[in-house]
Structures are given as structure tokens and as C-alpha cells.
Structure 1
Amino acid sequence: MSQLEDRLRRTLAADTSGTPSPDLFARVRDSIEDDRARRRGRTRRLLGAAAALTLAVATVLTLTPYENGRPAMPWWTLELFTTGVLIAIALWLGPFIKRFGRAYAADVFHDNPLTGKSYIVLTDIVYYLIFAAFILFTVRFEPDRTWGADFATVNADQIEWQLQRVGGILLIIGVLHGLNIVLMPVLGRLFSLNRRLSGSHER
């Protein structure tokens, strides 16, 4: 069942025992409009990100000097570009994971919804701290001499290093996110058990 269908079902079944609410049609219409607005917003964000990436690539290629028919891009150009890509991934991937994680957390922490909301907020903080730490640990302020004889310009060794930066953060977030999915039900059961034990002691 889609999110829109679920909202319609809840709205229509909100008060079926008595006289229908006079603003029922308005609430259904507003719900549909809100869903359409969210979809349009997601589409605009995706198109904006694609346009920004295309513009960045075109700018880098335009400003790249050529020597003997070969590109001689300064090493810091690719370093800045990769750092920007990492920041863009963090800003896009965080809300994406959170949007689909809310329903999962609500199901796991159904006995204590406030705990589920706090858990989502805390995992968001951990997520951005990991991204920020990884970027700061891997950013270079001068070319690495292990990149070869022509280390001052972009070469295959530097490209490999930058791809390792992107792949490394994706691997770290993927592993941690998988562990979070596995551990969250365990934590939910522990919180529920603790809540029931506290309630039985109070009685």
C-alpha cells in the first residue's frame, strides 16, 4: 500500500461511527496535494543535483589546461571535486535513509514511539559525524608523492585514490547501516521488555 493510499484510508476511517466530518473532502484534497507537492519537490531536487554535477564536470573540463595534447589538470582540482562529491552524497543519502527508516523505527519501537524518534535523531547525528570525520581524515592539502613522477597534475594514481575515498565512505555507511537494521529490532525488544518490567514493578 502506497503512502497516499494509507493516508486516504486513515482519513476516511477516522470517524465512521457518526456524521461524516464536514471538512472531509477538503482534508482528502489537501492530503493528495501534499503528496503531489512532495513528489514534485523530490523531482526538482534530483534534477537540481544532476544539473549541478553536469555543470561542475563541464567547468572542470573547460578550465583544464592541455600540454602536448594531453590534459594537465592541477591535482587540487580533482581533490576539491571529490570532496564536493562526498559532501553531496552525505546531504542526499542522509535524508534518503531517514525517510525510509522512519516506518521501520516506528514498527520496531511501537511500544514507545518517542524512543523511536530519539533513536532516528541520534543515528542522524552519528551518520553526519562519520561523514565529516572521513572527509577530514582523507582530504589532502598537498599532492602525494606516491602518485608518480608527475604528482602535481592529475594522473591515474590520484584518480584511483579519489575513487577509493568515495567507495570507502559508501562501504562504511553500508556496513553500519546493515548493522543498524539488524540491531534495531533487538534494541526495540529490550526497550519494550524494560518498559513492561517497570510497569509491573510499579503495580
Structure 2
Amino acid sequence: MSDLEDRLARALTDYPIEPSPDLFERVVEGIAADRVRRRSIRRWSLVAVLFVVLAVTAVLTQTPRVNGALAMPWWILEVATNLVLVAIALWLGPFIKRFGRAYAADVFHDNPLTGKSYIVLTDIVYYLIFTAYILFSIKVAPNPEWSLLREPVETVTAGQVTYELSRIGGILLIIGILHGLNIVLMPMLGRLFSLNRRLPDPGSRDRATGA
């Protein structure tokens, strides 16, 4: 048998010929879990919409007016931006994970458990980055630079709006860059793990040769 035929034979024997006996049960459980997940998403989405509507209504009714125009206190926009960042984190994380499972399963097809652990670890890193970014960029007092007139900031200004928009854009840029690097590096890691698994054990080789 040639080297190519030997390699093909080893590659084909790595995959089971008979299907898994619990395949049907796992498919049914997966469908049921997907239905539960969809119902949970719809329920929480409805709660989030109602919360936003109530919050906006409360802000508009309690916000004072200066010369007939709304003068929103600066901290309301700060709190609203933090809520938007948290909502993006809670929505974007499961969204990336949902479409990344198939990619990770294909990359780590020789090491399924490693692929699952990799997904869990990337989730932890994702939420740590979001939490750190929010804590680093949050403001507990108005920034004097938000006012062009160098007066004490009590209401929302154009400078604060620009700052809050840059916070949202900044976290999206960071997650986008890290996610792109993850897509590029994941196949390399999968290849390394696959090669490491296929390397023969030196101890077993010594025992086979009788050394």
C-alpha cells in the first residue's frame, strides 16, 4: 500500500460508519431548545421595547423647558448611552455565537471539545471587554469640554452627544476588529490542535519498538 493510500485509509477510518444511536433525540432536543430560545428572545425584546417607551415618556414629561425647548439634564443621556451599550452587548454576543458555532465546529472538527471550550472562552473575553469599556468611559460628572462657552454643564450639549456617539462607535469598532482577527486566527489554531492530536506519542512508539 502506498503512502497516499495509507493516509486516505487512516483519514476515512477516523469517521464513524454507523450513525450515533442518540442522533434523533439530540435533533429533537435541539429543535426544542431553539423554540425556547426564540420565545425568550421575543419576550425580552418586548420587555426592552416597553422599558424604552416608558423611559422616553418619563424623560419627556419630566424634562424642563428653556425658551420653549427641551433642556435635558446631562446625566439622562449618559444613562441612556450606558443602557444602549449593555443592550448591544447582550444582543451582539449571542448573535455572534449563534453563527460562530458552525464555523468553530468546522475548524475544530478533529477536536470538538476544544472547539466548544474555545467558544466559551471567547464569550468570557467578549463580555470582559464590554464591561471594561463601559467602566472606563462612563462619566459620573459632566465634562467641562462639552460646553463651548466654558460654562458649567447642566444640560445635554452637542459636545456630549458627540462623546456618547463616539463611545458606541468605539466599542463596535473594537469588537469588529477583534472578531475579524478571531476569524483569521481560528483556522490556524484549529490546524495546530489537529496536528498536535495526530502526532504519535513518543512513549507508545518506544513501546511498539521494544525500546
TM-score, normalization by structure 1: 0.79
Aligned to 1:106: 105
Deviation at 1:32, TM superposition (A): 5.4
Aligned to 1:134: 133
Name which of structure 1's ranges 46-55 and 107-116 shifts more when overlaid on structure 2: 46-55
Aligned to 2:67: 68
> 1:4-153, aligned counterparts within 5 Å?
34-148=33-147, 149=149, 151-153=153-155
Aligned to 1:4: none
1:174 to 176, 181, 189: 176
Output the CA distance in 1 between the equivalents of 2:171 and 2:77: 17
Output the CA distance in 2 between the equivalents of 1:125 and 1:31: 23
Secondary structure (helix, strand or coil) at the match of 2:156 reads coil
Output the CA distance in 2 between the equivalents of 1:179 and 1:32: 32
Output the CA distance in 2 between the equivalents of 1:41 and 1:91: 13
Describe the shift of the 1:75–1:100 C-alpha distance in structure 2 as closer, same or farther (beyond 3 A).
Answer: same
Give deviations 1:8-50, integer Å, cap 9, x for gaps: xxxxx766xxxxx9xx8x9987765554443333222322222
Aligned to 2:12: none
Name which of structure 1's ranges 43-52 and 177-186 shifts more when overlaid on structure 2: 43-52
Aligned to 1:159: 161
Give deviations 1:142-185, integer Å, cap 9, x for gaps: 11111113522101111111111111111111111111111111
Output the CA distance in 2 between the equivalents of 1:83 and 1:118: 30
Deviation at 1:199, TM superposition (A): 4.7
Give the length in aligned residue pairs: 183
RMSD over aligned CA atoms reads 2.5
Name which of structure 1's ranges 146-155 and 29-38 shifts more when overlaid on structure 2: 29-38
Stretches of structure 2 that go unaligned for 5 or more consecutive residues are 1-18, 206-211
Stretches of structure 1 that go unaligned for 5 or more consecutive residues are 1-12, 16-20
Describe the shift of the 1:27–1:171 C-alpha distance in structure 2 as closer, same or farther (beyond 3 A).
Answer: closer
Deviation at 1:58, TM superposition (A): 2.2
Output the CA distance in 1 between the equivalents of 2:26 and 2:103: 26
The one-letter amino acid of 1:178's match is G
The one-letter amino acid of 1:184's match is M
The one-letter amino acid of 1:62's match is T
Give deviations 1:63-111, integer Å, cap 9, x for gaps: 2111111111111111111111111211221122112212211111111
